[in-house]
Chains A and B, each alone.
Chain A
Amino acid sequence: MKLFTKIFLQVICVVLLLSSGIFFYTTYRWKNQSIQNINSYENSRFQTNISKFENMLMRIKSKTQDTDDKIREKMIIYAFRQVFHDSAVLYQDGKEQYNGTKYEFDLQNIRNLTKNKHDGFENDIYCDKPLISKTNGNVFLLFYFSRYSSTDMNYQIVTYKDITGVQKQSQTLFYQAGGFTLFLVLFVGFFLFLTLRKIMEPLTRLKEAAVSVANGNYEIKVPSEGKTELAQVGKSFNLMTGKVREQIEKLSSVNKAQRQLLGSLAHELKTPMTAIIGYADTLLTVRLSPKRQEIALDYIRNECRRLSRLSVKMLELTGLYETGEAEFVPVEVQMNQFLEDVKKLVTYRLQEKKICLEIHCNPEELRKTFDPDLMMSAVTNFIDNAVKASDENSKIVLEATQNHLSVQDYGKGIPEEDLKRVTEAFYMVDKSRSRVKGSVGLGLALCQKIADIHGFQLEITSHLGKGTIVSVLW
């Protein structure tokens, strides 16, 4: 969720800053502009009124050259009221002459303010900059006019325009802008939340999937539709889990096979170990006749030899399991030549029992693709078994055709119930006799493995007392 929060907060902040900035700036500008507008309008009106008033003053002056001051004053006030309609204050020599408004103005203060704006001008002060004053909670735009003349009378006029409304409006607008910004932020936030969640969802799923893969569940799939980068990541992820699962399955099957093998091996080690330890103990502690001592030593030697044979075969077999296809180098082989090579290899074994080996290669020019070393080992193993099963002076047939390579003997055969299990490691049909002949029970397991590596099938058919045919179907 970190990325989510990050993006979310950043976007919200940017939206908040931008929108509030824009809104508050425009509101401020609007307020200023409207005050400016009112000011210029009122100013021009004020000026017209002042010139009207001046005219009237002139006329009053010319008409009342000799009249009483009081009357003249009254006439001036009258004229003032004619022009300004109770919306202005007239001061004469700093003294309030007439106030038609409901408010009191501090002339000195206004004068100072104006003075600040017009450095040092004393005569005909006229201010066109808005002059804002707050009185009794109301906001006024003040206009000030001052005439000093040494000859004539000095008078000042102050008028005002109530802009509380404008001020209020701008305040409302300000609040509205704030509200709108808040609304915008909420709105954007909501949408952002939805879209972000939608965008993040595959990522979250990917995370969960990764965790579950880590926990050993390789069945899980993440959605990978579409062309977005995340979909591609999902696709790659699925591909990865698939591969990992394949590898794991392969490994675990190899592991299982090896564990089985190891279990059988441990069992198989027990017997020779018991014998060796037993004889060694006996030799050490029991008083035996020299003949018996010899027998005991002989047993120890034989059992040790068996163990060493076992270890060699085991190495071969585990080697096949471990390297698997890696060291498997298939080449095209001329079959009749291959069969001749096999024959040369097994001649010695055959002579022991005076067995004759027949070779058939059909067709003569048959060529097959396989690893000759591995196959040689398998075929010699078959023949070895055949020799063990055969009686003296019998024969073994080695045959290669388009479909199979088979070794047939005419020996004692394999009982049906054992037939299925003969390719298991350490399985022996006739345990005690096989051991005497030096078998360890790994030959056919090895052959099976060799056939598996090639993708060939091993088929054994046998009839008790008549013989056995071992075929490699390729």
Chain B
Amino acid sequence: MKARILVIEDEMAINDLLCMNLEAVGYETVGYLDGNDASERVAQDHEFQCALVDIMLPGKDGYTLLPELKKFGIPVIFLTAKADVTSKVKGLKDGAEDYIVKPFEMLEVMVRLEKVLDRYGTAPKQIQIDDVIIDTVSHIVTKNGEEIYLKPMEYNCLMVFVKNPNKALTRSQILQELWKEEFCGETRTVDAHVGRIRKKLSWQDKIKTIPRIGYRLEVDL
């Protein structure tokens, strides 16, 4: 089941940008431009796993929408141009899961969104890409029912790709995800991991090398 994400952002361009990116990595999105509009619609249709909400909205603003969304059990991530500490503290104290200040990078939004989904246990337990099934609980990867042994680093690397399908990742981004901190070493270690994953899963054509950027896992969603 695809996670459904609610996007409430009055700026058409940003709204579409978010939806476009989220859909590209396999989420289902519903976007609203207006606070009042969103509040009415959510009252009827509230099957969302997470909501990205701008604070300054026409009609009801983000702070007003927050309790309404929480009532339906939808975790909220604020996405706003308000960079001052008081706004952040207010947002988080009121019960928002996270607070992202514009201008943001899409990858950051993705990672934070994923973390929220993880916390709420709505992240999928099994991920299937064609004939490969990844069990995220037991960390077992099978291809055509046959178990394929991956070293921990290879598994983590695979997960970085799987969580960001159809998205080109730079070597340093991958390293950062793997080491969870600024990695100053040789970015070419990524190539070794990617090479082994490709070989073990026969994913030579799935994980594409993007010149001057890095790699991209291409999946038809």
Q: Enumerate chain A interface residues (CB-CB to B < 8 A).
A: 267, 270-275, 277-279, 281-282, 284-288, 292, 295-296, 299, 302-303, 430-432, 435-436
Kindly state whether residue B140 has any CB partner on chain A within 8 Å: no
A286 touches B17 (CB 8 A): no
Cα A350 to Cα B104 in complex, Å, equals: 40
How many A-B residue pairs have C-beta atoms within 8 angstroms? Tell me. 80
> Which of chain A's residues have a CB closer than 8 A to the CB of B166?
286-287
Partner pick for A435 among B11, B106, B216, CB 8 A cutoff: B11
A275 touches B17 (CB 8 A): yes
Kindly state whether residue B105 has any CB partner on chain A within 8 Å: yes
Partner pick for B102 among A271, A281, A303, CB 8 A cutoff: A271
A274 touches B24 (CB 8 A): no
Q: Counting chain B CB atoms within 10 Å of each CB, which of A284, A287, A431, A435 scores highest?
A: A287
Which B-chain residue is minimally distant from A296 (CB atoms)?
A: B20
Which B-chain residue is minimally distant from A281 (CB atoms)?
A: B106
A310 to chain B, nearest CB (A): 14
Kindly state whether residue B213 has any CB partner on chain A within 8 Å: yes
A430 touches B58 (CB 8 A): yes
> Which of chain B's residues have a CB closer than 8 A to the CB of A286?
20-21, 24-25, 166-168
B14 touches A271 (CB 8 A): yes
Cα A434 to Cα B204 in complex, Å, equals: 49
Given contacts A278-B17, A303-B13, 9 further A-B contacts (CB under 8 A): A275-B11, A278-B21, A278-B103, A286-B20, A286-B166, A286-B167, A299-B13, A299-B17, A432-B34
> Which of chain B's residues have a CB closer than 8 A to the CB of A272?
13
Cα A436 to Cα B25 in complex, Å, equals: 28
A274 touches B16 (CB 8 A): no
Q: Counting chain B CB atoms within 10 Å of each CB, which of A270, A273, A274, A435 scores highest?
A: A274
A306 to chain B, nearest CB (A): 9
Name 18 A/B residue pairs within 8 A (Cβ), A-sorted: A270-B102, A271-B11, A271-B81, A274-B102, A275-B11, A278-B103, A285-B167, A285-B168, A285-B169, A286-B20, A286-B24, A287-B167, A292-B20, A299-B16, A432-B10, A432-B33, A435-B11, A436-B12
B75 to chain A, nearest CB (A): 22
A412 to chain B, nearest CB (A): 14
A278 touches B106 (CB 8 A): yes
A287 touches B218 (CB 8 A): yes
Q: Which 9 A-B pairs have the closest CB atoms?
A: A285-B168, A275-B13, A274-B103, A287-B166, A278-B17, A432-B10, A286-B24, A299-B13, A432-B33
